[in-house]
């Protein structure tokens, strides 16, 4: 019998057992707990300096991860470190969220989204300059040939570079493509109402999409397009480093959290993306089509407001700010 003072090493068997347990309680997108996958996961946790790409390749070989490439997240880290001139410390501001319920998926771990934002926090002027530089790159991006050929404009994002809350949507629609601004039109009007229901204004938050070009006929972006564009939204979030990210709809939630769960399974609790708390709720366009789920979206926003320090009983009066 082992001494109670001894600490047993984490073995592939332990990881397999944990994965099996999580699968049984409904976290269904995790890899099947076979020994090969467990070994890959154990390697992921024990080799923190290993490149994400090599880990992804192993996981992809097992056929269990859909959102493969996470290298752009690391690339975003590097871009911010270079632009900020800060040390390559991987450290960020203090006060990382103490929460958080996360999914613990292999892909999320491998992506590095459980790590803090890289580099020092930038000044408002530096943030604005960095965002403008990325927007310029996005405007000239032709990585997704189909989207680049059919778009009228790229839709980078807008709002306060110092925003505490970011709203992350899926992709531009027809009106966004025409205007170059995110969330205009009917779904944009509803999002504005949702923001105002939180006693905030659009100018106080930051609004962006996962991909910056409109898919033809408003089809769902395919995984390759999301992977192509990931570095852009990852860089935006690195620069803004909000306290909260609200994922609007399935594509935003899955892309940010590397999850395969439904919105219904992800909403109602906090997740984590680096130092940001993440709330998942329904996309405004879905709420327009399915008004009876608006109460769930309101519940999600109330959860955010309560955590943010907005006194729901005092809405309309002076708002406490963190």
- Applying CB under 6 A, which part among 13-21, 37-45, 185-193, 226-234 lies near ligand SF4? 226-234
Residues 27-46 that bind ligand SF4 (CB under 6 A): none
Of the residues 40, 106, 122, 147, which one makes contact with ligand SF4 according to CB under 6 A: 147
Q: Please, what is the angle between helix 35-46 and helix 12-24, to 10°? A: 110
Min separation Cβ 100 and ligand SF4, Å:
28
Whether 200 and 175 have beta carbons less than 8 Å apart is answered as no
64 or 209: CB nearest ligand SF4: 209
Asked if 141 touches ligand SF4 (CB under 6 A), the answer is yes
Asked if 76 touches ligand SF4 (CB under 6 A), the answer is no
* Cis amide prior to 100 (ω within 30 degrees): yes
62 or 153: CB nearest ligand SF4: 153
229 or 252: CB nearest ligand SF4: 229
109 or 144: CB nearest ligand SF4: 144
115 or 143: CB nearest ligand SF4: 143
Task: Round to whole Å and give the CA distance between 226 and 211.
Answer: 6
- Applying CB under 6 A, which part among 92-100, 134-142, 296-304, 312-320 lies near ligand SF4? 134-142
Whether 286 and 293 have beta carbons less than 8 Å apart is answered as yes
Tell me phi and psi for residue 317, to 5 degrees. Answer: -100, -170
The one-character DSSP state at 271 is E
Of the residues 55, 228, 255, 281, which one makes contact with ligand SF4 according to CB under 6 A: 228
Min separation Cβ 148 and ligand SF4, Å:
5
Q: How many residues belong to the site for ligand SF4 (CB under 6 A)?
A: 15
CA angle 171, 58, 225 (to 5 degrees): 15
Token readout for 173 is: 């629609």
Min separation Cβ 31 and ligand SF4, Å:
28
Q: Which of 201, 214, 272, 263 is nearest to 242 (CA)?
A: 272
Give the residue carrying structure tokens 């966004």: 176
Task: Round to whole Å and give the CA distance between 62 and 33.
Answer: 11
Of the residues 229, 266, 305, 310, which one makes contact with ligand SF4 according to CB under 6 A: 229
Min separation Cβ 80 and ligand SF4, Å:
19
Asked if 170 touches ligand SF4 (CB under 6 A), the answer is no
**β-strand 244-248 against 270-273: which pairing, if any?**
unpaired
Q: Which of 161, 169, 205 is nearest to 280 (CA)?
A: 169
Contacts of 204 (CB under 8 A, 6+ apart): 159, 160, 163, 165
Asked if 134 touches ligand SF4 (CB under 6 A), the answer is no
Whether 219 and 317 have beta carbons less than 8 Å apart is answered as no
Residues 189-218 that bind ligand SF4 (CB under 6 A): 211-213
15 or 76: CB nearest ligand SF4: 76
Contacts of 47 (CB under 8 A, 6+ apart): none
Of the residues 70, 83, 107, 154, which one makes contact with ligand SF4 according to CB under 6 A: 154
Of the residues 138, 245, 248, 301, which one makes contact with ligand SF4 according to CB under 6 A: 138
Q: Residue numbers of the site for ligand SF4 (CB under 6 A)?
A: 138, 141-144, 147-148, 154, 211-213, 225, 228-229, 232
């Amino acid at each position: 019998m082992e001494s109670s003072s001894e600490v047993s090493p984490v073995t592939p068997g332990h990881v397999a057992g944990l994965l099996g347990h999580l699968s049984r309680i409904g976290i269904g997108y995790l890899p099947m707990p076979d020994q090969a996958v467990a070994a890959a996961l154990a390697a992921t946790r024990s080799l923190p300096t290993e490149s994400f790409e090599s880990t992804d390749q192993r996981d992809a070989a097992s056929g269990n991860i859909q959102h493969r490439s996470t290298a752009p997240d690391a690339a975003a880290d590097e871009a911010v470190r270079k632009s900020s001139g800060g040390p390559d410390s991987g450290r960020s501001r203090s006060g990382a969220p103490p929460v958080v319920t996360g999914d613990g998926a292999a892909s999320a771990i491998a992506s590095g989204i459980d790590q803090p934002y890289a580099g020092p926090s930038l000044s408002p002027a530096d943030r604005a300059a960095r965002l403008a530089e990325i927007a310029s790159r996005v405007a000239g991006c032709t990585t997704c040939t189909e989207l680049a050929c059919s778009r009228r404009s790229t839709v980078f994002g807008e709002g306060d570079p110092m925003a505490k809350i970011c709203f992350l949507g899926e992709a531009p629609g027809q009106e966004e493509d025409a205007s170059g601004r995110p969330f205009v039109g009917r779904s944009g009007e509803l999002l504005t109402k949702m923001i105002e229901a939180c006693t905030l204004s659009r100018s106080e938050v930051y609004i962006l999409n996962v991909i910056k070009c409109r898919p033809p006929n408003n089809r769902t972006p395919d995984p390759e397009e999301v992977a192509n564009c990931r570095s852009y939204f990852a860089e935006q979030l690195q620069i803004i480093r909000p306290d909260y990210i609200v994922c609007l709809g399935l594509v935003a939630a899955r892309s940010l959290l590397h999850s395969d769960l439904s919105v219904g399974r992800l909403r109602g609790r906090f997740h984590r993306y680096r130092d940001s708390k993440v709330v998942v709720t329904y996309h405004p366009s879905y709420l327009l089509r399915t008004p009876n789920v608006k109460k769930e979206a309101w519940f999600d926003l109330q959860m955010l407001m309560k955590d943010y320090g907005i006194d729901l009983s005092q809405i309309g009066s002076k708002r406490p700010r963190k």
